[in-house]
């Protein structure tokens, strides 16, 4: 056991660490660095929950009543934008003119059958309730980072 611990310590000592990339001075430079990366993700708040979203993801959320299949939704409550090496966090959100994410409604569906059993002891009261929770499935579109027009 002690020999294994010594090997782990020696392996950790031999590892080389790289210095962290310097942080950009302005938000526009940070967005330029993220634009230069090949793939992006966002952390967005939908229906009161936070989700990590990438392009072409399929997201299941509680039923959205006012949308139909095929509708396109603009996700505007974006908390964080990132790539493999860089991350930009909003305070509290990133403005919609800097990041645009769209989601298309694929279907309205139901979950599995849930059974709820209620009983009161010594009263003869028993009740069984069955229901299926309704959900909406969304396909996440591309994450667009429009380049600001210089004024």
pTM of this structure: 0.75
Report CA 97 to chain centroid distance, whole Å.
19
pLDDT at 140: 97
Per-residue pLDDT tens over the stretch 16-68: 445 566 677 788 888 888 989 889 999 999 999 999 999 999 999 999 999 99
Helix, strand, coil percentages for the chain (3-state, nearest 5):
15, 50, 35
Cβ-contact 37, 30 below 8 angstroms = no
Per-residue pLDDT tens over the stretch 90-140: 888 888 888 999 999 999 999 999 999 999 999 999 999 999 999 999 999
Cβ-contact 54, 140 below 8 angstroms = yes
Per-residue pLDDT tens over the stretch 75-95: 999 999 999 888 899 888 888
Give the domain ranges of the chain.
25-144
First to last CA, the chain: 66
Indicate the DSSP class of residue 23. Answer: P
pLDDT at 58: 97
pLDDT at 52: 96
Give me the residue label for tokens 């002690």.
2
Q: Strand pairing of 72-75 and 78-82?
A: unpaired
Residue 11 pLDDT > 50, yes or no? no
Q: Is the dihedral of CA 35, 37, 79, 142 positive or negative?
A: positive
pLDDT at 146: 87
What tokens does 18 get?
């790289």
Concatenate the DSSP letters of all residues of 69-93 into one string: TT-EEEE--EEEEE-SS-EEEEEEE
What tokens does 14 get?
């031999």
């Amino acid at each position: 056991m002690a020999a294994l611990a010594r090997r782990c310590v020696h392996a950790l000592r031999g590892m080389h660490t790289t210095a962290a990339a310097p942080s950009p001075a302005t938000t526009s430079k940070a967005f330029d660095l993220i634009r230069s990366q090949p793939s992006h993700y966002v952390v967005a708040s939908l229906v009161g929950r936070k989700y990590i979203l990438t392009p072409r993801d399929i997201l299941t959320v509680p039923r959205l009543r006012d949308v139909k299949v095929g509708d396109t939704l603009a996700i505007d409550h974006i908390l964080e934008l990132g790539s493999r090496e860089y991350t930009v966090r909003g305070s509290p959100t990133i403005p919609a003119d800097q990041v645009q994410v769209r989601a298309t409604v694929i279907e309205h569906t139901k979950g599995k059958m849930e059974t709820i059993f209620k009983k009161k002891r010594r009263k003869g009261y028993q009740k069984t309730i069955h229901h299926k929770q309704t959900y909406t499935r969304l396909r996440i579109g591309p994450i667009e980072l429009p380049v600001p027009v210089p004024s």
